[in-house]
Structure 1
Amino acid sequence: MVRRSVAGAIRAGISISAMMAGCIALPAAAQDTDETGIAEIIVTAQKREQSLQDTPLSVSAFGAAQMNARDVTNIGNVAAYVPNVEINSGKGDGGSTNAAIFIRGVGQNDFIFPTDPGVGVYVDGVYIARSIGAMMDLSDIERIEVLRGPQGTLYGKNTIGGAINIISSRPGNELSGQVRTTVGARDRIDVEGRISVPLIPDVLAIKIAAASKNQDGYVIRPDGTDLGDINVDAGRFAIAWNPSEDWTVDLSFDASRIRQNGSPQRLSDTFSFPGGLYDLYNAIAAPLVTARDGLPAGSLFDDRWVSSDRRVSNGTGPTRDKADVWGTNLTIAWEASPALTVKSITGYREMDAEIQVDMDQSPFPIIHTDEVQSENQFSQELQLSGATEDKRLNWLVGGYYFRERAHDVNQTLLASGLYDALELLPDALIPLVAGVPCPPPVAGLPCAGGAGNPFNALLDLDVRPQTALTTNNWAVFGQASYEVVPALTLTLGGRYSWESKRYFIDSIYPNSGRIATPPTHDERTWKNFTPKIGIDYRASDDVLLYASWSKGFKSGGWNPRPLTPEEFKSYDPEKLTAYEAGLKSRLLDGLMTFNLAGFYSQYKDLQLQTNSVSPTTGGLILTVDNAGSVDLYGFEAEILAAPVPGLDLNASIGYLHNEYQSLAAGTGYPISNKLPKAPAWTLALGAQYRFDLPGTMGGLTVRGDLSHRSKTYHDPANSLTIVQPAYTVVDARLAWTSSSEAFEVALFGKNLTKEDYFTAAEFVPAFGVQNMVVGRPREWGLQLTARF
């Protein structure tokens, strides 16, 4: 069935492409393209400068002006405007700085190493290995590019789903600067500034940029703590040196300081699950915690802590998002000859974070985590590229080295207080195996309760793992595009990667001294070849047709949260094979662009996490296995249009279908399930109109945006109570710009229809906990910008 559906989709795509090609060949009415038209967008998606319309990939790009018009302040905001892309903060215990990115249904929800992201994030060509702190501020950005589909040849490591390129602005040859202040709802105060100074004209320039962003949160706890707040300070210093016409040297340093209260979570339900600990906890541990913590008499962990207001949480446990992230990049390019360019990209980054989360969002310590994570990475990439004099051949070869060291300490409270309550019982009263009477008639049968009973330790679930990871990755890669005959170009590429990971874990239950995982070292090595074959045909000056076959992979690792020695085990890399066909076109004498891509992907050795209940103790079991394979297919279409002077229109639509082809019985999921974070439909519509005011009064720009997501599952089990129904968010902006464009005042609104939605959720049957991360409410802002 899937194969027939795919064949039908491919035939439909070919038919659409053929019809569009025919329409595009028709002569268009003459237009004054000096006053209107679509500006050319230059991207570096293939590691060389190309027009977006000449790049045979499914890629979306946004410049600084486009991001400002939509109030895009971090990576997470970008997803609303890109088809088949989801970006949120992922698992609740990852905090709000975590970037869980999914493209075409492929990504990673978890943040803890050795789990790796499935979509690579690159800043000025440097790969960012960890998702914590990757929800980056976009204050001083020239452009952001979103590449859909595996980028295993030119990008390589962990780009099985795609890649996000962030390109910062370079110091210029003229003195220039900008200061911007934004005030708004919930005491929002953002201050951003940058200045570019040429020290030696055309030779040496520097730039300094800084931003401070602050806003109160929108989910409030009883103690007044506001979750979902923003408190980010960021800065960047860059040097651009052109010692000669043949050399460019770019050195930059960036740093971010994040001090926030945590992601905007709330408890959405409590429940008793067969075999779980919900009832036992309420029977013997809740009275102890109630007396110890001074809670109202008779308190239990139940629905009394579920607020009817989505913007109220009853959590009382520690909550904190703290991260310090910094890095430096050095890029050196030498044009050795018209046919050869040599480029070196050197990067070093460090990250230190502490994430405290009360995941049950109640006064009871059902699930509390305190994560302290540190990481540093070094990478070196060397590229040789060039083109023949007739431009028929463009080629690039290179080598890559990456090294990472990471360390993590995670103090986790799970049904905390249960062990202490068991120790206070007068005798063994709690059967650990169904049908066993307590106290047991035969010594040694598993009944918990009573001081010193060794079986109590089986229900001591407060765990403290320490882990360390060292990763080394080497790769060689190359890609060449050759115009075989006029208008027909063949692209061949490949990357050979060798990766080793060395992992250490030492995990204990501090209360009882029971060992979760003894001190263990393990090392795994993987080798992988990711090829690409592509062909593109220039049907006319304004039409590019292309097709490609490519592969990608995501690193393997180890189960990051083993709660027993038996649960500690490794898993292998994921692999994906993708087929893509598309169209890039300019219509109506440059007044419109229409881009279309269809894809079919075979996603194998899927790393699936199971969240289940222990059959012996009722506690939590968390495992990760290569437990499935999935077929995915769909399409993306994007339109930009400027039909009349001053009017800009944009629309994008994405469709994604996923269907398991195999699924291990041990997951407990039916094969009919769907992937999480993979809505079938994504839609974005936008319109902007600018008109001049009389005389020298400047101009007004009115803009509106709509973003739609269809039904979205939030866990592999497709738990029905945490399914996000389809929702639509509407934004608007009104801006006045002076006639010299030196000053701008803008008023904007976000989520004007007050749509209620959540961006992430978890369903934990072992403890009867269901929570959600609440989407941003309606808010307004006033922005003042001065440029020179």
Structure 2
Amino acid sequence: MRIMGGMRACSVGMMALGVSLAVGQSANAEEAPPPSDPPQAGDVGVPEIIVTAQFRSQRLQDTPLAITALNSEMLQARNLASVTQVGEQAPNVTIKPAGAVYGPASQVFIRGIGQGDTNFALEPGVGVYIDDVYYSTVFGSIFDLVDIDRVEILRGPQGTLAGKNSIGGALKLFSRQPSNDFEGSVEANIGRFDKVGLRAAVNIPLVQDRLAMRLSGVARYSDGYITSLDYGCLNPTSGVPSFVTSKSCKLGSEGGQEYYGLRSVLQWTPGDDVTVTITGDLSIDKSEPGATILTHGENRGRFFLNGVPFDSRFETSGSYINYATYNDPGGIYTALTPVGPVVITRPPSAYALQRNNDLKDWGVSGVIDWRISDSLSLKSITAYRRYHGSFYNDADASPFNFQLVANDFKHWQLSQELRLSGRSFSDLLEWTIGGFYFKAKDTTGGRVYFPTVFDTLLDDPARPRSQSLFAHGTLHVTDKLNLTAGVRYSDERKTYIYNRTDPNTGLPPPALAAIDGVGAIYKGDRFDYKANIDYHFTDDVMVYGQFSTGFRSGGINPRPFFSNQVVPFEPESLNAFELGFKSSFLDRAITLNGAVFLNKYKNILLGTNNPYVNPNMPIDEDPTSPTYNPSAGTFPSAVVINGGKADIKGFELETVLRPVEGLSVDASVSYLDFQYKEISAAALSTGITLQSNRLFTPKWKWNAGAQYEFPLGSAGSITPRFDVYYQGSIFTGAVQNPYNTIDSYTLANAQITWSNEARDLDLVLSVSNLFDKYYYLNKFETVSISGIALGQPGRPREWQLTLRKRF
């Protein structure tokens, strides 16, 4: 039952919503803060936010880490409904929905480190945690922010705290917990593209102070904003086959949503010192594939259908249409190859894809919090998650369909974490020791259909296992000076096996026979460290410095085309140096936080389309030239490599101002410079140079928002709000080129909220992308292999009307 799950496969991650502490514990333990309430009339000053980033409850302004924290009030005021929108609020954080190629997923990058590929062989670069439970896959990680108490974004490696694969940082979501009061909320909305949605939550005290339950649910639907048109219908004399004869020539749409989720949290307090929390979630996601258009098409492979070349005639850049049919139109396919022309005649509709994802997942978790004494507590977190998800991709977004891909992902995971926390030496030392165990069973399945190359079924099992021990402590040297240190030992193991079957013969396709049944094992272990010093000049001004490390697991290349591409990749690692400050002024009317950092990044993991062929090869390059050599197993390829070393440096500033009653202003700005220092031999052969940039890493990024509440007496209040967000240009591939470049853009959102005098009823009119900016969320290209570049346009201007009632 998961409601945090989101825009497409969000449900996958709701493993443990509701798994945080609910009883008052000693200061050394992770006491969950009370749920945030809507702002009250007369509120002045920036509200305190309590975070648990260091295994204990602390004020955000007292925590010596670079953290962006948003409570439920802030999420609601800024109209943030998805985790991908949260990335716009945090400096040096980029969170994008993956395109149709990678399915329903969020690509999270913090300070230039993250992961975009959803294959199970690859680990996230930023750890995602839901009520302290690790969400282990990139797939399905677009979470909906329903019934959330707060979001914490921790920048920089969390190798000793969050641990597994949190080399870039950690994204932590904390849900609202059951309480002793009967209360709840209902929210309904309508909007453009026939959007309708319903969210509800209710808290039910069953036995006063002993047993309570919280139920949450969400349902939403909207039409797609990309329209697929039949090219043959629009151009009947082109020679391209047609599928429809309607006047509109419409085949379908992309980007639409259909999602249902339910979550239940039961909290039992058998005694004053023990709390047991059990959470279950269930969700169904039948949303459409991610919005895709063809931004570049060229006949690099000399590919023809009924004599018509695949080329720029199918490009639709700047529009919200494509010519994807999700079907094999049949006809005479011709491809010119190094060994001569290949001609295949296929009947119509030999293979078709559906136009919606199909994801079902459920999970259950249990947390036991035991306050052993006033200075000692134990926390146990046990969680289980299972999902089965399918997603589909017309990979050329054209009528040719020379690459149709059906993906079928299966996943289950089991995790167990124990934390023993205490205070020693008259409370001078606060410490936590613990252990973590994780295992999963994953299967990357589906069908990859290349009409002129091969047709294969995939069924690749992966079996990751991880275990670790950790210790973390803070020594309060004086009332103003603190020293913090941590260490974690991790042991990792992963197996991966390739299975390839031709659905027509039951045998491996000849081109892939050499890798069928081949498997490999990765093993590794590592120590990570942290040392931190912070000094409080006053109660409102603190400075800190720290050194920390982190790593991301190695593994095996998951997409070989030839046996010599079955290669391992080593873990990447990071040594990070950071100086920062936290400050509040004028009785918390202003908060200003900042940090500067230098990261030493080693064994950088890169997903490459062509590690042995220059992707910048001219389009008129002779396909029979020596660089184009399939017999050597070098083309095509999709190999994960260790790219070398780099320095990452930058700074971040965040501020919130509430100087007078009713006025709130928030802003952040960040700068990041990525510079390769060494390039591996494998990376050099891809075209990467010392001047290359890092994917999903803008140099500059900023946001600002302001709102003012106008009181209307007994008629309630009116609150207009305006937000603006800027992202510098980014690249979405290991080797940047014009086909994977996203230009810088600025977006604006606006909303106006009416609240009644009792502040339990809201009517909100909001407009996103206020000035109807055309921009791209994501791009994906295989120009050097197939001449294809795809783009995922952001949503156009949309209005939404929301009615919210609290009781």
TM-score surpassing 0.5?
yes
The answer on 1:237 being equivalent to 2:269 is no
Which of residues 31, 47, 62 in structure 2 aligns to 1:39? 47
Which of residues 554, 559, 562 in structure 2 aligns to 1:561? 559
CA distance in 2, matches of 1:174, 1:140: 16
Q: Deviations over 1:347-372 (max 9, x none)?
A: 11112110110121001123221110
The answer on 1:616 being equivalent to 2:629 is yes
Change (3 A) 1:308 1:345: closer
Deviates more, 1:61-70 or 1:539-548: 61-70
Aligned to 1:586: 584
Which of residues 739, 751, 774 in structure 1 aligns to 2:757? 739
Aligned to 1:180: 187
Deviates more, 1:304-313 or 1:758-767: 304-313
Alpha-carbon offset, residue 409 of structure 1: 1.2
Q: Which blocks of at least 5 consecutive residues in structure 1 are unaligned?
A: 1-32, 288-297, 419-459
CA distance in 2, matches of 1:707, 1:322: 33
Which of residues 63, 70, 73 in structure 1 aligns to 2:71? 63
Alpha-carbon offset, residue 35 of structure 1: 4.1
Which of residues 669, 672, 685 in structure 1 aligns to 2:688? 669
Amino acid at match of 1:270: G
CA distance in 2, matches of 1:206, 1:485: 43
Aligned to 1:76: 84
The answer on 1:507 being equivalent to 2:500 is yes
CA distance in 2, matches of 1:271, 1:226: 24
Please tell me whether the aligned partners of residues 470 and 486 of structure 2 are also in contact (alpha carbons under 8 angstroms): yes
Secondary structure of 1:67's aligned partner = helix
- TM-score between both structures, scaled by the size of structure 2: 0.84
Amino acid at match of 2:449: L
Please tell me whether the aligned partners of residues 583 and 595 of structure 1 are also in contact (alpha carbons under 8 angstroms): yes
CA distance in 2, matches of 1:362, 1:516: 31
The answer on 1:487 being equivalent to 2:474 is no
- TM-score between both structures, scaled by the size of structure 1: 0.86
Q: Deviations over 1:217-246 (max 9, x none)?
A: 111112442211111111100011111111
Which of residues 702, 705, 714 in structure 1 aligns to 2:723? 705
CA distance in 1, matches of 2:98, 2:148: 24
Aligned to 2:740: 722
Amino acid at match of 1:649: V
Please tell me whether the aligned partners of residues 133 and 351 of structure 1 are also in contact (alpha carbons under 8 angstroms): no
Aligned to 1:776: 795
CA distance in 1, matches of 2:99, 2:569: 20
Alpha-carbon offset, residue 510 of structure 1: 5.7
Which of residues 514, 529, 532 in structure 1 aligns to 2:530? 532
Amino acid at match of 2:705: G
Secondary structure of 1:519's aligned partner = coil
Please tell me whether the aligned partners of residues 318 and 774 of structure 2 are also in contact (alpha carbons under 8 angstroms): no
Which of residues 443, 462, 471 in structure 2 aligns to 1:469? 462
Question: Alignment RMSD, CA only?
Answer: 1.7
The answer on 1:303 being equivalent to 2:312 is yes
1:111-510 pair list within 5 angstroms:
111-222=118-229, 223-273=250-300, 277=301, 279=302, 281-282=303-304, 286-287=305-306, 298-307=307-316, 309-317=318-326, 318=353, 319-388=355-424, 390-414=426-450, 416=451, 418=452, 460-508=453-501
CA distance in 2, matches of 1:400, 1:81: 31
Amino acid at match of 2:91: P
1:17-32 pair list within 5 angstroms:
none
Secondary structure of 2:580's aligned partner = strand
Please tell me whether the aligned partners of residues 751 and 767 of structure 2 are also in contact (alpha carbons under 8 angstroms): yes
Amino acid at match of 1:188: K
Change (3 A) 1:661 1:508: farther
Alpha-carbon offset, residue 461 of structure 1: 3.7
Please tell me whether the aligned partners of residues 179 and 205 of structure 2 are also in contact (alpha carbons under 8 angstroms): yes
Q: Deviations over 1:703-748 (max 9, x none)?
A: 1111110111111110123311110110011001111112110100
Alpha-carbon offset, residue 191 of structure 1: 0.2
Secondary structure of 1:196's aligned partner = strand
CA distance in 1, matches of 2:107, 2:84: 9
Aligned to 2:115: 108
Change (3 A) 1:389 1:779: farther
Aligned to 2:641: 625
Deviates more, 1:223-232 or 1:382-391: 382-391
CA distance in 2, matches of 1:130, 1:516: 29
Aligned to 1:292: none
Deviates more, 1:105-114 or 1:501-510: 501-510
Alpha-carbon offset, residue 134 of structure 1: 1.0
Aligned to 2:515: 517
Alpha-carbon offset, residue 304 of structure 1: 1.5
CA distance in 1, matches of 2:76, 2:588: 24
CA distance in 2, matches of 1:365, 1:476: 50
CA distance in 2, matches of 1:732, 1:486: 44
Q: Deviations over 1:497-556 (max 9, x none)?
A: 011112211235667544151302322211010100000001111111001100000011
Secondary structure of 2:637's aligned partner = strand
Q: Deviations over 1:419-471 (max 9, x none)?
A: xxxxxxxxxxxxxxxxxxxxxxxxxxxxxxxxxxxxxxxxx243433210111
Alpha-carbon offset, residue 667 of structure 1: 2.6
Please tell me whether the aligned partners of residues 420 and 432 of structure 2 are also in contact (alpha carbons under 8 angstroms): yes
Aligned to 2:332: none
Deviates more, 1:501-510 or 1:168-177: 501-510
Q: Deviations over 1:183-225 (max 9, x none)?
A: 1111111100111110111111011110001111111112442
Please tell me whether the aligned partners of residues 505 and 518 of structure 1 are also in contact (alpha carbons under 8 angstroms): yes
CA distance in 2, matches of 1:787, 1:589: 31
Secondary structure of 2:764's aligned partner = strand
The answer on 1:639 being equivalent to 2:646 is no
Alpha-carbon offset, residue 389 of structure 1: 7.2
Change (3 A) 1:272 1:659: farther
Alpha-carbon offset, residue 70 of structure 1: 2.3
Q: Which blocks of at least 5 consecutive residues in structure 2 are unaligned?
A: 1-40, 230-249, 327-352, 614-626
CA distance in 2, matches of 1:211, 1:635: 38
Q: Deviations over 1:298-326 (max 9, x none)?
A: 53312221125520011001343221122
Secondary structure of 1:753's aligned partner = coil
CA distance in 2, matches of 1:728, 1:463: 43
CA distance in 2, matches of 1:628, 1:227: 38
Change (3 A) 1:787 1:341: same
CA distance in 1, matches of 2:455, 2:79: 42
Secondary structure of 1:147's aligned partner = strand
Please tell me whether the aligned partners of residues 285 and 359 of structure 2 are also in contact (alpha carbons under 8 angstroms): yes
How many corresponding residue pairs?
Answer: 694
Alpha-carbon offset, residue 121 of structure 1: 0.7
Amino acid at match of 1:111: T
Change (3 A) 1:172 1:389: farther
1:684-695 pair list within 5 angstroms:
684-694=703-713
Change (3 A) 1:308 1:503: closer
Please tell me whether the aligned partners of residues 508 and 517 of structure 1 are also in contact (alpha carbons under 8 angstroms): no
CA distance in 1, matches of 2:324, 2:379: 52
CA distance in 1, matches of 2:595, 2:42: 30
